[in-house]
C-alpha cells in the first residue's frame, strides 16, 4: 500500500504511526495486549509472559534472528512448560475445594475443645494425608451409625424389615427393640443379631426361622425376652441348621403350639434341624414338652455349655428329645451343660428322651451337671435303644415316691463314669 494511502487511511502522519508502533512493542500502550496480567490469570488463560515483556514474541524468548524452525522449537518447549504449570495449579485448586467442602460438611460436628475442622476429626498437624482421611472416614461412619439407629427405631420400618426376611440382614444396630409381630426368617433369609441387643416380644409373638439366625456374643448381652408371655425361637428345616446362638439369654418363653396344641420348647424348639446352641442362659420358660428346649424329628443339634435353669414343663422341663422311628440318622449332642432347678409335673425334670425305635438314631449325653431339679417322676429318663450317658453328675434332685433319679432303658446304650448321688 502506498505510504500516503496508509496515512490517509489511518488519519495519521508517518511519524505518528511509527510512534504508536514503538509504544506497542515497548509495552507502554493501553492496548489489551500490553495490560498487566497476574500470575494466576496467566495460568488460567494459558499464558506465560516473562518479566521483561508482555509481547507474544518474548513469551517464548524469540529473537529477530531466530528462523522459523527455532521459533517453533521454543514455542513447543514453552507450551509444555505451561501445561505442567496449569496441571499443578489445577491440583492445588482441587485440594483447596475439597478442603472447603469438608469444612462446610462438618460445621455441626465441632467438639468441645475447638471448632476447627482438624479437631472435629481429632487431626493433628503431624498427620499425613492418609491418616487424616482415615480419621474423617471413622467420624463419618459413626454419624452413619447414628442415622441407622434412628431408622431402625421406627416401628413401621422395623416391622416391614423383620416380619418377613428373605435376604441377609446384618446391619441391624445394637439396641433394645420392642417386637409386636412375629419375626419370620424364610429359607433364603438370614438375620444377624449383634451384641448388646435385646428383643422384647409382645404377648404371643416369637421367631420362626427356616433360614439362618445368628446371635453371638461373648458376655451374654444378647437377650430374647418378654415382659408378658411370648412364644419362643423355633428353628425349623434343614436350612436352619446353619443357625448359631452363642452367649444369649432366652427367657420367659411359652412354646410354639404349631406342632403341639399345648406348646413345645418353651425357650427353643428345634424341628428337623441341626443348629448349634452354645453357652446360653435358657431360663424361666414353660411348655407342655420341653420347658427349656425341645428337640424333635430329624435333628442333630449341638447343645454345649449352656445353663438351663428354672424352666417348667409337664414332661422334660430342662430338655425334651423325641427321636421317633419316623426320623432316621439323628444324633443330638448334649454336652457339658448345667441343667438345674427345673420342675416337671411328671418326669424328666432334667432330660427326657423317648421312642427312638430306630437304631440309626443316637443320643449323646456327656459331662453335664444335672442338679437341684424336681419331678414327680424321674429326673433323667432315657427310653432309647442307642445312647451314650457318660461323665454326668446327677445330684441333689427331688423325685416322687417309688421313682428313681435316672432311668436308662435296660440292656441298651453305653453308660460310664456317672456320679448319681443324694437324690
Inter-residue contact 237 to 262 (CB < 8 Å): no
Inter-residue contact 170 to 150 (CB < 8 Å): no
Walk across the sheet containing 380-382 and list its strands: 183-185, 207-209, 233-236, 268-271, 293-296, 319-323, 351-355, 380-382, 406-408
**Per-residue pLDDT at 400:** 83
**Per-residue pLDDT at 360:** 78
pLDDT digits (tens, 9 = 90+) for 171-193: 899 999 999 999 999 999 999 99
Other beta carbons within 10 Å of 87: 11
HSE, CB side, 13 Å, CA atoms: give it for residue 327.
21
| Cα 215 from chain centre | 11
Q: Calculate the alpha carbon distances from 296 to 38, 98, 230, 289 in Å.
A: 86, 62, 20, 10
Residues whose CB is less than 8 angstroms from the CB of residue 386 and which lie 6 or more positions away in sequence, other chains included? 356, 359, 360, 361, 362, 363, 412, 413
**Per-residue pLDDT at 68:** 73
Determine the Cα–Cα distance for residues 177 and 183; give it in Å rounded to an integer. 12
Inter-residue contact 351 to 366 (CB < 8 Å): no
Residues in the chain with pLDDT < 50?
1, 3, 27-36, 43, 46-57, 106-118
**Per-residue pLDDT at 139:** 78
**Per-residue pLDDT at 342:** 98
| Cα 342 from chain centre | 36
Beta strands in 183-292 (DSSP E): 183-185, 190-193, 197-201, 207-209, 212-216, 222-225, 233-236, 244-246, 248-251, 268-271, 276-278, 281-283, 286-289
Nearest to 216 by CA among 184, 235, 186, 243: 243
- pTM score > 0.75 for this model? no
Beta bridge partners of 363: 387
Q: Which residue has the cell 511519524?
A: 15
Amino acid at each position: 500500500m502506498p505510504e500516503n494511502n496508509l496515512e490517509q487511511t489511518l488519519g495519521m502522519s508517518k511519524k505518528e504511526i511509527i510512534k504508536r508502533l514503538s509504544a506497542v512493542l515497548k509495552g507502554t500502550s493501553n492496548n489489551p495486549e500490553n495490560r498487566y496480567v497476574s500470575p494466576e490469570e496467566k495460568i488460567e488463560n494459558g499464558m506465560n509472559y516473562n518479566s521483561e515483556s508482555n509481547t507474544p514474541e518474548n513469551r517464548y524468548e524469540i529473537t529477530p534472528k531466530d528462523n522459523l524452525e527455532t521459533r517453533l522449537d521454543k514455542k513447543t518447549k514453552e507450551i509444555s512448560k505451561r501445561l505442567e504449570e496449569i496441571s499443578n495449579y489445577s491440583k492445588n485448586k482441587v485440594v483447596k475445594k475439597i478442603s472447603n467442602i469438608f469444612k462446610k460438611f462438618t460445621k455441626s460436628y465441632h467438639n468441645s475443645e475447638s471448632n476447627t475442622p482438624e479437631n472435629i476429626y481429632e487431626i493433628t498437624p503431624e498427620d499425613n494425608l492418609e491418616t487424616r482421611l482415615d480419621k474423617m472416614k471413622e467420624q463419618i461412619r459413626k454419624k452413619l451409625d447414628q442415622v441407622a439407629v434412628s431408622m431402625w427405631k421406627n416401628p413401621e420400618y422395623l416391622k416391614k424389615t423383620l416380619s418377613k426376611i428373605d435376604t441377609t440382614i446384618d446391619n441391624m444396630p445394637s439396641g433394645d427393640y420392642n417386637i409386636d409381630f412375629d419375626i419370620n426368617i424364610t429359607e433364603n433369609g438370614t438375620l444377624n443379631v449383634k451384641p448388646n441387643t435385646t428383643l422384647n416380644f409382645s404377648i404371643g409373638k416369637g421367631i420362626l426361622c427356616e433360614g439362618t439366625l445368628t446371635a453371638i456374643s461373648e458376655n451374654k448381652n444378647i437377650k430374647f425376652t418378654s415382659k408378658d408371655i411370648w412364644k419362643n425361637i423355633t428353628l425349623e428345616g434343614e436350612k436352619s441348621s446353619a443357625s448359631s446362638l452363642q452367649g444369649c439369654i432366652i427367657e420367659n418363653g411359652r412354646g410354639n403350639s404349631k406342632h403341639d396344641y399345648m406348646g413345645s420348647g418353651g425357650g427353643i424348639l428345634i424341628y428337623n434341624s441341626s443348629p448349634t446352641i452354645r453357652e446360653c442362659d435358657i431360663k424361666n420358660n414353660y411348655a407342655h414338652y420341653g420347658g427349656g428346649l425341645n428337640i424333635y424329628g430329624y435333628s442333630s443339634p449341638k447343645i454345649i455349655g449352656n445353663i438351663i435353669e428354672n424352666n417348667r414343663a409337664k414332661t422334660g422341663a430342662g430338655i425334651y428329645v423325641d427321636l421317633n422311628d419316623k426320623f432316621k440318622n439323628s444324633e443330638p449332642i448334649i454336652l457339658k451343660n448345667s441343667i438345674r432347678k427345673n420342675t416337671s409335673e411328671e418326669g424328666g425334670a432334667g432330660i427326657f428322651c423317648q421312642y427312638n425305635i430306630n437304631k440309626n438314631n443316637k443320643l449323646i449325653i456327656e459331662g453335664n451337671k444335672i442338679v437341684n431339679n424336681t419331678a414327680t417322676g424321674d429326673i433323667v429318663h432315657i427310653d432309647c435303644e442307642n445312647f451314650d450317658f457318660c461323665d454326668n453328675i446327677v445330684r441333689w434332685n427331688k423325685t416322687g415316691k417309688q421313682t428313681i433319679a435316672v432311668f436308662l432303658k435296660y440292656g441298651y446304650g453305653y453308660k460310664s463314669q456317672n456320679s448319681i448321688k443324694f437324690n
